[in-house]
Structures are given as C-alpha cells and as structure tokens.
Amino acid sequence: MGEMKFLAGVPRFVFFTGKGGVGKTSVACAAAVQLARAGRRVLLVSTDPASNVGQVFGMHIGNTVTPIDSVPGLWALEIDPEQAVTAYRERIIAPMRAVVPDSDIAAMAEQLSGSCTTEIASFNEFTALLSDEGGVYDHILFDTAPTGHTIRLLQLPGNWSQFLTAGGEASCLGPLSGLDKHKAVYAAAVAALRDPLRTRLVLVARPSRSALTEIARTRAELETVGLDDQYVLINGVLPPTADLNDPLAVAIARREQAAVADMPACVAQLPRDLVELKATNIVGVDALATLFDPTPPVGGEHGPATETTPAIADAPLSVLIDDIEAGGPCLIMCMGKGGVGKTTVAGAVAVALAQRGHDVHLSTTDPAANLAETVGGELEHLQVSRIDPARAVADYRARVMAAKGAKLDDAGRAALTEDLQSPCTAEIAVFQAFSHVIADSRHRFVVLDTAPTGHTLLLLDATGSYHRDIVRQMAPGARFITPLMRLQDPAFTKVLLITLPETTPVLEAAEMQNDLERAGIHPWAWIINNSLAAAMPNDPLLRRRAAAEVGQIHTVATMSDRYAAIPAMADEPVGIPALAALARSRSTSLDTPQSPQPL
C-alpha cells in the first residue's frame, strides 16, 4: 500500500474537498477502507447533495448510518437533503398538530419547504457529528460537495453562532425556530474545526492549472474558518510509463508536469501526495484498496493493452450549436455533476454564438467558477458575468431596506437590519439574481453555467416554491409567467446535461434528468465531455480507459434525443481560440489509423 502523508497521524475528523470531478469520493472511500483495515472504527459521511458513495461501494446507503459489510469497522452515511428536511419539518410541526388548525399546519409545511430549510436541516446533521466528542468512531471522514458548497457549509457554524449570539431572529421563523437551542452544538462544531489535533483538511485536485488554482482559493477561504491543518492530494497523475510515441499522452504528461511545477506557492508549501491515474474506474472495495498503490504497466495484471474499441458516432458540438442558433434567443443552461466541464462547455457555446454575430450573455451560478479565466479575453457581442452571492446579498439587503425600511421607525429599521443578517438571506438573494438572468434571455442568448448538481437542484427548488406562491396569490384566470414556467418551455430554455463518459457521472446525469422531468423540465441535449474514445489515443493505459467509455457513450445515446461527444484535448481549453476549437472538434474511432483529431 502506498504511504500517504495525509494519513500519517490522522486526527478524528478529516475533510476532503476540492473542485468537482477531482476524485474526492474515491480518495475519501479509499482512505476509509485503509483506516478500517488497520483496525480503526471509521464513519464515512457524504455532505454532497449529489453523493455517489453508495455507487462506489455498490450498495444503498442513504440518510442512516449503514455498515459496509465487506469492510469490517467501516460505516457510511449520506446526508440526504430530502430525508433530512422531512425529519426536520416533522420535529417542528408534530408538537403543533394538536393545538393548531389544519390550515395553519399546511401553511407551516409550505414555509418549511424552501431551500433555506434544506440547508439548515442538512447542516444540523453535519454539526451534530462535529460536536459528538464521545462517539463510537475513531475517525469521521467527510466527503464534501464541490468547493463552493463546502466553503458555505464550513462557514455556517460560525455564521449561525454569531447570528444567534447577537440575538438574531429571522422572518423565516419556522426553519429557525429551533436554532437557539443549538448554540452549544454550533460552538462545539466551531471549536472542532479550529483544532488541528482534531480536524484535518485534504485539498484534492487533478494535475491541472484550474484545479490547483481552485484549491489555493479554498485554502485561503477555509483558513478564515480556522482549518489550518491542510494537506494536498493530486489525483489522477499520468504515470511515468506513458507511451512517449502517443502525441496525446505526451501532451497530457507535459501539461500535468507544468501545472504541478507552477502551482500557487501557498499550495506548494503544503504536505503533498500524488496518486497515479488508473486504467479503470475506482469502483468496489478491491479497486479502492489499490488506489494509493503505484499504477502497474497496462498489459500485466490489467489485461491486454491492445484491444480495439468499437467506432463511436461522430457527434460534434457544432451541430447542437447550429440547432440552438436556429431557434433564436433563449436560455441555455449547462447542468451536471461537478468537474464534468460545465464551465468549459458553456464558454464554448457562448463563444461560438458570439462569433456568429449574436449578442450573448455568459453567466454562472457556481460560487467556485471563474468564467473570466476560462474565456480569457474580450469578444465582440459577448458579455461575461457571474452571480456573486456576496454582491447579490448586498444588493438584496439594500433593496429591502429601501422599500420596507423607509416606512419604519429607527427601532423597526434596526430590527429589519438584524433580520437581514440571517444566512437564509443568501438563498433568497441568489434566487432573485437567477430570475433576472432568466428574464434577460428574452432578448438575447443567455448561456448559464450552473453550480454542481445538488446546489442547482436547491436553486430550482426555490424557483418552484416561488411559482407555487404566485399561483396561490393570483386571481383565477389571471395571466402570469414565472421563472419556472420559462424553464419548462423548451422554446425558451434549452438544458444541456454535461457528463463524462464514465459510470458515475452518467448515472448522476440520468438521476438529474429524472429530477428535472419531475419539475416539468425536459433536458434538450446531453454533452459527453473530455472523451478519450473520441480522441483515439495510442498509449496502452489511455486505450484501456477509452475502451471503458464506449458503453457509457452508447448509454447516453439511448437516453437522449440528441447528444454531442467532445474529444479529450491536448491542452486545457482556456481562452477564446481554444473554446472556439472545442466547439468545432469532431469525434474519431479508435480503429481508424490516423492521428488524433484534437491535436
């Protein structure tokens, strides 16, 4: 077993975080298996609303502590937002049923159905674990949501503690009604996070500039929370056995080495582990047990290195962009699991439309995204923005104070100011900013890079709650259009589900498609990003990974009316020329004896 620095003298609490798609779940699961096999009692907790821990172990886990039968000493828990909300809502409403009319109970249930309640319910389970000093587990490992959501989660104990200590109350009194009782729990959670003898942070990244830059930002933000015991783990590094005659493998190795050599200084000074790329996906206990071992040459225990791969359909992104253009101005939403390339695809679509002479607004709801870096320059007809939660909250507070505060006396204004300090305010503010972006698409193409799956579904939940409120308030026969109605209109909104040609991302995209369908939103197309099968590599390890992709690509083809496959590129698609080239790239078959098209 490889010796990992981050597992030396490991404390009770370990958080794994980083940009989506870097392998946090695989690393967290592998660490949990290693510690359990060393005789420790380990609880593995997922705080990601789009958790796939159960898929990695091949079993259902869910919102209750579940033993992993194949690994004695290991238990797992997926904090499921829906189940957490149901239990939280029932704890608040149950005592009221005997004394409150049914109509009031129904109103309370509706009040406790928003994304703010979802956040608080999940957060309460998280803080309970951190404050449980006398628990039965030697180690509790947290597989967290992608960076932006995780920063929000780890800042919440301090935010709520400060808010309640100051005597804060809030207009969303239902979900906050039990918070005052938990001051001691939140204080204990803050203390645990700030104690390096109890808590360690593992910043997981791929060997790419964007992922390493992301963990540098994360490191700085989480230092303000007090998480000082930090380690870096760079996952999926191409091993030194790569075929130097394969242009794609050479380009990937060169790009990775440059990214690691040039990583931000604040990250370079941290203890560092490297985990090599494996020929197959890390699913199952046997695979997890080998994750930290050096990668053996393909063709040995991994089987033949020269198998051929069936042809895949030539499905360029440019064809989908042609169809989008033909329909005229609309909202184009790029959705999917963290790390699948939503920002890159959104940038490529926006650049292509702008270069064709259309006015385009490219924006994002992802707290961790940086569209300006991805686009890397200015382009005629293209406006780039982001929904900044801090800016949205400041603007929202200013609007409320100007509207409601103008009619209040000094005491009333002071109370309203205190009310608006509630962390719930951020959810309302971001939803309003999201609604303005939707409205903008009536006049021009708006391409929206969304936050990773779980965060986006919470935003859509807020959109649905707003729609239901409007429906109740409108007079019979009145005409109105809500943001949800625009999202449900395929002529107005085109949802692009972005995935990678791997088992877990495809399964998660399929689950998101089902969630969207239940909300009346039908995904317009799927986009398979960064496909080795479409890039035709010669390196044995990359060929093995490419061969494993074909089945997933065929699965996507059966689940969607239309799809595109984007080949893996030699260089990171950053900058307007690279994004334009990405939109034009075409798939090729591994059986075709020619140089890879992306090169």
Q: Say whether both 255 and 337 belong to one domain.
A: no
Q: What is the predicted pLDDT for the residue at 584?
A: 81
Range of the domain at 438: 317-391+427-584
Q: What is the predicted pLDDT for the residue at 169?
A: 44
The residues annotated as belonging to the active site are 21, 23-26, 48, 504
Distances (CA, A) of 52 to 21, 60, 139, 286, 461: 12, 10, 20, 17, 21
Measure the CA–CA gap between 328 and 443, rounded to whole angstroms. 9
Are 347 and 383 in contact by the 8 Å Cβ rule? The answer is: no
Beta bridge partners of 528: 499, 565
Residue 250 lies in a domain: yes
Q: Which of 238, 272, 288 is the last residue of a domain?
A: 288
Q: Say whether both 245 and 326 belong to one domain.
A: no
Measure the CA–CA gap between 348 and 527, rounded to whole angstroms. 12
Measure the CA–CA gap between 65 and 21, rounded to whole angstroms. 25
Q: Say whether both 332 and 255 belong to one domain.
A: no
Measure the CA–CA gap between 374 and 580, rounded to whole angstroms. 12
Q: Say whether both 39 and 113 belong to one domain.
A: yes
Residue 415 lies in a domain: no
pLDDT digits (tens, 9 = 90+) for 434-487: 777 778 888 899 998 876 544 444 445 555 454 454 445 445 554 444 556 677
Q: Say whether both 377 and 272 belong to one domain.
A: no
Residue 293 lies in a domain: no
Q: Say whether both 269 and 325 belong to one domain.
A: no
Q: Say whether both 66 and 138 belong to one domain.
A: yes
Q: Say whether both 199 and 258 belong to one domain.
A: yes
Residue 175 sits in a domain whose CATH number is: 3.40.50.300
Nearest Cα to Cα of residue 295 among 567, 19, 54, 545: 545
Measure the CA–CA gap between 113 and 86, rounded to whole angstroms. 9
Q: CA dihedral in degrees (337, 338, 340, 344; nearest 10)?
A: 120
Q: Say whether both 178 and 277 belong to one domain.
A: yes
Domain count, the chain: 2
Given a cut of 70, the residues of the chain with pLDDT beneath it are 1-2, 20, 48-51, 80-82, 107-108, 110-123, 126, 132-134, 145-186, 225, 296-313, 367-369, 419-428, 430-431, 451-485, 586-599
Give this prediction's pTM: 0.69
Q: Say whether both 143 and 69 belong to one domain.
A: yes
Nearest Cα to Cα of residue 167 among 176, 157, 155, 154: 176
Q: Which of 240, 270, 288 is the last residue of a domain?
A: 288
Are 362 and 383 in contact by the 8 Å Cβ rule? The answer is: yes
SS3 content of the chain, % helix, strand, coil (to 5): 50, 15, 40
Q: Say whether both 137 and 82 belong to one domain.
A: yes
Residue 322 lies in a domain: yes
Are 18 and 214 in contact by the 8 Å Cβ rule? The answer is: yes
Q: Which of 250, 268, 288 is the last residue of a domain?
A: 288
Q: What is the predicted pLDDT for the residue at 412?
A: 81
Measure the CA–CA gap between 257 and 252, rounded to whole angstroms. 9
| 3 state SS for 220-277 | HHHHCCCCCCEEEEEEEECCCCCCCCCHHHHHHHHHHHHHHHCCCHHHHCCCEEEEEC
Residue 401 lies in a domain: no
Q: Say whether both 282 and 323 belong to one domain.
A: no
- What residue has token string 């391409």? 447
pLDDT digits (tens, 9 = 90+) for 375-417: 888 899 999 988 777 777 788 788 888 888 888 888 888 877 7
Residue 407 lies in a domain: no
Q: What is the predicted pLDDT for the residue at 113?
A: 61
Residue 92 lies in a domain: yes
Residue 441 lies in a domain: yes
β-sheet with 445-449: strand ranges across = 382-384, 360-364, 445-449, 331-335, 493-499, 525-531, 563-567
Measure the CA–CA gap between 434 and 365, rounded to whole angstroms. 7
φ, ψ for residue 356, nearest 5 deg: -90, 5
